[in-house]
Chain A
Amino acid sequence: MEFEQRKKAIEYGLQPFLSGESLTLALQIWEDRYAETPAFALQQFARELCDSFTLTMPRARVLLQQSLIRALNDLPTVSPTASPSPNPNPTPQVRPEPPSSTGDPAVHTFTLLVDTLTDRLSKTDGQFLRQYLLNHLSTLHQPEPAQQALRAWLNRRESITVSIPATALTQLINLAYIALCERLGPTQADQALHNTITRIETTNADRRYSVRRLL
Chain B
Amino acid sequence: MASWPFHRGRFLFMLALVSISPIALAADEVTRTAVDTLWVAASAALVFFMQAGFALLESGMARSKNAVNVLMKNYMDACVGGIIFWLVGFGLMFGQNVSGWFGTTLFALDSPKPWDWTFLLFQMMFAATSTTIASGAMAERIHFRAYLIGACVISGLIYPVFGSWAWGGYGGGDGWLKALGFIDFAGSTVVHSIGGWCALAGIMVLGPRLGRFSPEGESRAIPGHNLSLVALGGFVLWFGWFGFNGGSTLTADASIGKILANTHLAACAGAVGSALFNAFLGRPTLLTVTVNASIGGLVAVTAGCATMDAGFAILTGFIAGIITNLGPRLLVKMRLDDVVDAVSVHGFCGVWGTLAAGLFFSGDLFNLNRIAIQALGIGSALIWGLGTAWITYLLIALTIGIRSTPLHEQRGLDFTEHSEIGYPEFQQSRTFNPEGLHHH
Residues on A facing B (Cβ under 8 Å): 170-171, 174, 177-178, 180-182, 184-187, 189-191, 193-194, 197, 210, 212-215
Contact = CB atoms under 8 A, between A and B. Distances in A.
B406 A185 contact: no
By DSSP majority rule, is chain A's interface helix, strand, loop, or mixed?
helix
Contacts of B428: 190-191, 194
A212 B410 contact: no
A212 B428 CA distance: 14
B8 interface: no
Contact of B431 (A171, A178, A185, A194): A194
Nearest to B405: A174
Interface of B: 63, 65, 209-212, 214-215, 220-223, 406-407, 410-411, 428-435
Contacts of B215: 182
A213 B433 contact: yes
A197 B433 CA distance: 11
Contact of B222 (A187, A193, A213, A214): A187
A191 B65 CA distance: 12
Given A174-B406, A185-B220, A189-B211, 11 more contacts: A171-B407, A174-B410, A185-B211, A185-B221, A186-B210, A189-B210, A194-B428, A212-B434, A213-B435, A215-B432, A215-B433
Contacts, number: 69
Contacts of A191: 428-429
A189 B434 CA distance: 19
A186 B211 contact: yes
A190 B406 contact: no
A120 to B, nearest CB: 15
Contact of B410 (A177, A185, A187): A177
Contact of A182 (B214, B222, B407): B214
A205 to B, nearest CB: 16
Contacts of A213: 433, 435
10 contacts: A181-B210, A182-B211, A185-B214, A186-B212, A187-B222, A194-B430, A212-B432, A212-B434, A212-B435, A215-B410
A213 to B, nearest CB: 6
A174 B407 contact: yes
A129 to B, nearest CB: 13
A190 to B, nearest CB: 4
A193 B212 contact: no
Contacts of A197: 430-431
A177 B214 CA distance: 14
A186 B411 CA distance: 12
Nearest to B434: A212
Nearest to A181: B211
A215 B210 contact: no
Nearest to B435: A212
Nearest to B209: A186
A83 B227 CA distance: 50
A215 to B, nearest CB: 5
A215 B437 CA distance: 13
B214 A187 contact: no
Contacts of B214: 182, 185
A174 B407 CA distance: 6
Contacts of B222: 185-187
B223 A187 contact: yes
A177 B407 CA distance: 9
A181 B407 CA distance: 12
Contacts of B63: 186-187, 190
A56 B215 CA distance: 49
Nearest to B208: A186
Contacts of B435: 212-213
B431 A193 contact: yes
Q: Can you list the 9 inter-chain pairs with the closest CB atoms, starting with the nearest?
A: A181-B211, A185-B220, A186-B211, A181-B210, A190-B429, A212-B433, A194-B429, A177-B410, A174-B407
Nearest to B428: A194
A180 B410 CA distance: 11
A177 B406 contact: yes
Nearest to A187: B222
Contacts of B432: 212, 215
A190 B432 CA distance: 11
A186 B140 CA distance: 12
B431 A190 contact: yes
A185 B431 CA distance: 16
Contact of A215 (B209, B212, B221, B431): B431
